[in-house]
Amino acid sequence: MSEDRELDVVVFGATGFVGRLVAGYLAGHAPGAVRIGLAGRSERRLSEVRAGLGAAASAWPLLLADSADPVSLAALARKARVVVTTVGPYRARGLALVRACAEAGTDYADLTGEVLFIRDSIDSCHDTAAAAGARIVHCCGFDSIPSDLGALLLHHAARADDAGDLLDTTLVVTAMRGGLSGGTLASMMDQMQEMRASAERRRVVQDPYALSPDRAAEPGLGDERDLGWARYDGELRMWTGPWAMAGINTRVVRRSNALQGWAYGRRFRYREVTGFGAGPAAPVLAGLASAGTTAAEAGLSFGPSRALLSRLLPAPGHGPSEKTRRTGYFRIQIHTRTTGGQRYLGTIEAEGDPGYAATSVMLGETALCLALDRDQSPDRAGVLTPATAMGAALAARLRSAGHTLDTRQISALPVEDLLPQDVCVPAVLGEFAQYVEVHPAQPERAEPVAVDLVVQVQG
């Protein structure tokens, strides 16, 4: 490792809910030679976090920095080779750190899912970062690593088989169980408020190519809006509904394609949906989930209901219980066809709450990949994506950490191959309510599964 900086990795926001999880992951899995620091506003709270991480972290230095203090952020960026940050909402509090890292030539990773923030980062920091050799990598958690690496690996598989470019590609969430944190809610609510206040910002968020490096060069492939309502998909032979994270994931995947010179193909059409199966209950579940998603978005956008939800839902710094994080999981499949006529199936799976347990692994391994695997990663700098900054190197790390990232060529698409035994779908309020566990073989069985902090009353 290079000795040109005092530290290899710094976790900024280490006293927050997700920051503590990422620091804990690194304490348990980073090689002993990796120099790691914890950063935040309060030395006392940082010391408390470090004390809870065990002997491996006992000597980790503590660094004081504030997202509202650009001087402190510049000093932080100069000390580290990689800064990972969990301090959000990023649009309100994140751009100064991106700029500091870009100017210092320091690699950066975060967990944002905010299109407007990433667009700002691209417009103001890409050229600076590219000139300094810094890799600015947004969306390094459940949004959008499974999507971004999944599409990349399908591209690699098709190219290895000389099967041509990717055509219609659909990510299907077939099973998921987990909770929701106040930080995620705050980011979503802030972006919705901006969209409501500005027609221009709403246009940017709704543009399928909002994150493109060259919007005018993107191909015209017809209607590529995200699915907004329940729909039977004849190609997949199942009922589908909206997927709450499609609005960010699809744009990240399209940026990856463009940054690689449209390597996936100029006719690459990418979308993401939730899968509900083909049984008798499927259209009802798809309709309920679609209505719930629409209601949740409306509730978070409308002033009076937004204020009420702000009082009832978790505040920033709070998140799911240890049990919810431990018992969560996600199951994703990505289906594609190629210009050579072949069909491929990608499988992305992990145990642990998607947004927290699994995300802490993703961001932790991202930090280690950026710090340790540059010679195995693509030779790029600027505002990048997980696929274009790290690609197969990160996929290998995640496999070693227990995540499933597989691709295979298939000749048919039987229904039983699409659906796991139990499909968990968000019901009534999408991400904002409990999950319902659906058993496709016995559609009459629908049992609520408790999610501890999905709804939390703040005292």
Preceding peptide of 144 cis, ω within 30°: yes
How far apart are the two ends of the chain, measured CA to CA in Å?
A: 47
Q: Classify residue 417 as exposed, middle or buried by CB count within 10 Å of its CB (0-12, 13-18, 19+).
A: exposed
120 CB-near residues (< 8 Å, 6+ apart): 91, 95
The DSSP 8-state label assigned to residue 454 in this structure reads S
- Residue 287's CB: how many other CB atoms inside 10 A? 15
Give the closest residue to 250 by CA, choosing from 132, 378, 385: 385
| Per-residue confidence (pLDDT) for residue 194, from 0 to 100 | 83
Encode burial over 144-167: b for 16+ CB neighbours within 10 A, e otherwise: bbbbbbbbbbbbebbeeeebebbb
Find residue 424's DSSP bridge partners: 437
Report strand pairing: 329-338 vs 269-275.
unpaired
Give dist(CA 356, CA 137) in Å, integer: 19
What pLDDT, in 10s, does the model give residues 221-264?
999 999 999 999 999 999 999 998 999 999 999 999 999 999 99
| Per-residue confidence (pLDDT) for residue 299, from 0 to 100 | 67
Instruction: Evaluate whether 281 touches 179 at the Cβ level (below 8 Å).
Output: no
Give dist(CA 406, CA 396) in Å, integer: 11
| Per-residue confidence (pLDDT) for residue 446, from 0 to 100 | 34
Domains, the chain, ordered by start: 7-142+357-399 (3.40.50.720), 145-353+403-449 (no CATH)
Encode burial over 340-377: b for 16+ CB neighbours within 10 A, e otherwise: eebebbbbbbbbbbbbbbbbbbbbbbbbbbbbbbbeeb
Q: What is the DSSP string of 43-106?
A: HHHHHHHHHTT-GGGTT--EEE--TT-HHHHHHHHHHEEEEEE----HHHHTHHHHHHHHHHT-
Instruction: Evaluate whether 349 touches 330 at the Cβ level (below 8 Å).
Output: yes
Exposure on the CB side of residue 158, measured as CA atoms within 13 A? 28
403 CB-near residues (< 8 Å, 6+ apart): 348, 349, 350, 358, 361
Give the closest residue to 319 by CA, choosing from 180, 178, 111: 180
What global pTM score does this model have?
A: 0.89
| Per-residue confidence (pLDDT) for residue 4, from 0 to 100 | 84
Give dist(CA 128, CA 134) in Å, integer: 8
Compute φ and ψ for 156, nearest 5 degrees. Answer: -60, -40
| Per-residue confidence (pLDDT) for residue 438, from 0 to 100 | 34
| Per-residue confidence (pLDDT) for residue 210, from 0 to 100 | 97
The parts of the chain modelled with pLDDT lower than 50 are 1-2, 414-459
Query: Which two structure tokens, joined as six digits, stand for 406?
Result: 């597989």
Instruction: Evaluate whether 297 touches 189 at the Cβ level (below 8 Å).
Output: no
| Per-residue confidence (pLDDT) for residue 309, from 0 to 100 | 61
Q: Classify residue 260 as exposed, middle or buried by CB count within 10 Å of its CB (0-12, 13-18, 19+).
A: middle
